[in-house]
């Protein structure tokens, strides 16, 4: 049975960031290509599926500059007739596309779930292993995948539901068949979508940055680890708000660095694995950052040999 931390202490996102920088210096330097490349491959799995394109919304079109009557409105009657005549085909293609999207999402998230624990293990232990953490954390990754995939299905369902009013309102505005109410409805739907995206993004941070390390440290399923992580968030709201705000700034800065690195390497730095190798210090820091916040809370993911001498205290043991 997992135990509660023996010591309660105030948490600091900035102190955790300084500790993460110290760990990066100790573990990644002097530079060793084979070690950085192995970590780059594992980091690629950890990042798999975490970045990508967004949803394109149908835009509302304005009228012609000359002020139009009915002759300026597009005639969509032909399109409506074609859709009615081929409704079965459209539904079939949409169903196949949905199955393919769900299948690819499941595969990507499964790889990501394994990568999360592989990279987490390597950062916590100071190693650069591939096969050992792949085997060792199989059950933890399966529990993590169940939550990750479930949330992704919920997100996909939410997006599809929100797309219906967006398409209808956008089409109404485009054809001029709606008034100010449609504009208000469109704006409200977009705001709901943005809120939906923010909530999912925050849950993603909670899941990867805090629940996964707690899973590994406490040896519990993902759901129980999420409950523990949520308790930490609600008990230290200011620290976690600061962490999220600083992480947004860090992500923007890291994106600029990645862009510059890719350009300076003649686009080779944009290739998967290679880009993760080049940017390894940033990725290593980002992964270690939340681990040190958990360490402050008494959940010490780091084994004793990984703690740099003279800065970190020994792992906390329950009384």
Model pLDDT for residues 86-125, shown as the tens digit of each residue: 778 888 998 999 899 999 999 999 999 999 999 999 999 9
Q: Which of 159, 204, 202 is nearest to 46 (CA)?
A: 204
Residues 272-284, mean pLDDT to the nearest whole number: 97
Give yes or no for residue 243 having a pLDDT over 80: yes
Model pLDDT for residues 284-317, shown as the tens digit of each residue: 999 999 999 999 999 999 986 544 434 444 444 4
Backbone torsion region of residue 277, taken as left when φ is above 0, otherwise alpha when ψ lies between -120 and 50, otherwise beta: alpha
CB-based burial label for 142 (10 Å; 0-12, 13-18, 19+):
middle
Helix, strand or coil for residue 23?
helix
Q: How many residues are present in the chain? A: 319
**The dihedral sign for the CA sequence 189, 106, 207, 281:** negative
Give yes or no for residue 280 having a pLDDT over 80: yes
**The dihedral sign for the CA sequence 299, 301, 305, 306:** negative
The answer to whether 41 and 272 have CB atoms below 8 angstroms apart is no
Give yes or no for residue 61 having a pLDDT over 60: no
The number of beta carbons lying within 10 Å of the beta carbon of residue 176 is 16
Beta strands in 109-178 (DSSP E): none
* Range with the poorest average pLDDT among 46-50, 216-220, 279-283: 46-50
The larger pLDDT score, comparing residue 309 to residue 210, is at 210
3 state SS for 61-121: CCCCCCCCCHHHCCCCHHHHHHHHHCHHHHHHHHHHHHHHHHHHHHHHHHHHHHHHHHHHH
Please report where in the chains the tokens 């920088």 appear, as a residue.
21
Give the pLDDT band of residue 229 (cuts 50, 70, 90). very high
Q: Tell me the two tokens of residue 275.
A: 């880009």
Residues 6+ apart with CB under 8 A from 284: 23, 24, 27, 28, 39, 43, 123
CB-based burial label for 137 (10 Å; 0-12, 13-18, 19+):
buried
Q: Would you state the pLDDT for residue 167? A: 79
Q: What is the dihedral of CA 219, 221, 225, 228, to 10 degrees?
A: -90
Q: Tell me the two tokens of residue 258.
A: 């990645």
- Domain residue ranges in the chain: 13-46+88-306
Give yes or no for residue 224 having a pLDDT over 80: yes
Give the pLDDT band of residue 223 (cuts 50, 70, 90). very high
Give the pLDDT band of residue 213 (cuts 50, 70, 90). very high
Q: Would you state the pLDDT for residue 59? A: 37
* Range with the poorest average pLDDT among 33-42, 62-71, 113-122, 216-225: 62-71
CB-based burial label for 102 (10 Å; 0-12, 13-18, 19+):
middle
Model pLDDT for residues 64-82, shown as the tens digit of each residue: 444 444 445 555 556 667 7
Global pTM value: 0.81
Residues 13-42, mean pLDDT to the nearest whole number: 97
| Mean pLDDT for all residues in the chain | 84
Q: Would you state the pLDDT for residue 250? A: 97
Residues 163-172, mean pLDDT to the nearest whole number: 78
Residues 270-279, mean pLDDT to the nearest whole number: 96
CA dist., res. 282 & res. 254, Å (int)? 7
Q: Would you state the pLDDT for residue 87? A: 78
Residues 184-199, mean pLDDT to the nearest whole number: 88
């Amino acid at each position: 049975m997992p135990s509660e931390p023996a010591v309660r202490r105030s948490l600091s996102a900035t102190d955790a960031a300084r500790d993460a920088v110290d760990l990066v210096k100790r573990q990644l330097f002097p530079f060793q290509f084979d070690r950085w490349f192995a970590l780059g491959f594992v980091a690629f799995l950890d990042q798999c599926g975490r970045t990508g394109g967004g949803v394109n919304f149908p835009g509302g079109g304005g009228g012609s500059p000359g002020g139009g009557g009915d002759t300026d409105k597009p005639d969509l009657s032909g399109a409506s007739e074609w859709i009615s005549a081929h409704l079965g085909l459209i539904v079939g293609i949409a169903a196949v596309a949905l199955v393919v999207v769900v299948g690819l999402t499941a595969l990507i998230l499964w790889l990501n779930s394994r990568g999360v624990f592989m990279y987490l293990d390597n950062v916590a232990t100071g190693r650069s292993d591939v096969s050992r953490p792949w085997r060792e954390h199989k059950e933890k990754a399966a529990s993590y995948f169940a939550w990750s995939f479930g949330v992704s299905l919920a997100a996909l369902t939410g997006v599809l539901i929100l797309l219906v009013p967006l398409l209808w309102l956008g089409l109404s505005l485009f054809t001029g068949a709606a008034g100010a109410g449609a504009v208000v409805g469109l704006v409200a739907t977009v705001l709901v979508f943005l809120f939906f995206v923010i909530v999912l993004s925050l849950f993603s941070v909670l899941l990867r940055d805090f629940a996964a390390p707690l899973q590994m440290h406490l040896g519990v399923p993902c759901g129980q680890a999420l409950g523990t992580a949520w308790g930490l968030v609600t008990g230290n709201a200011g620290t976690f708000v600061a962490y999220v705000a600083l992480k947004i700034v860090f992500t923007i800065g890291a994106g600029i660095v990645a862009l510059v690195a890719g350009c300076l390497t003649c686009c080779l730095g944009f290739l998967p694995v290679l880009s993760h190798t080049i940017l390894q210090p940033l990725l290593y820091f980002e992964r270690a950052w939340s681990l040190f916040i958990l360490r402050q809370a008494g959940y010490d993911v780091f084994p004793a040999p990984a703690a740099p001498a003279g800065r970190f205290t020994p792992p906390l043991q329950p009384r």
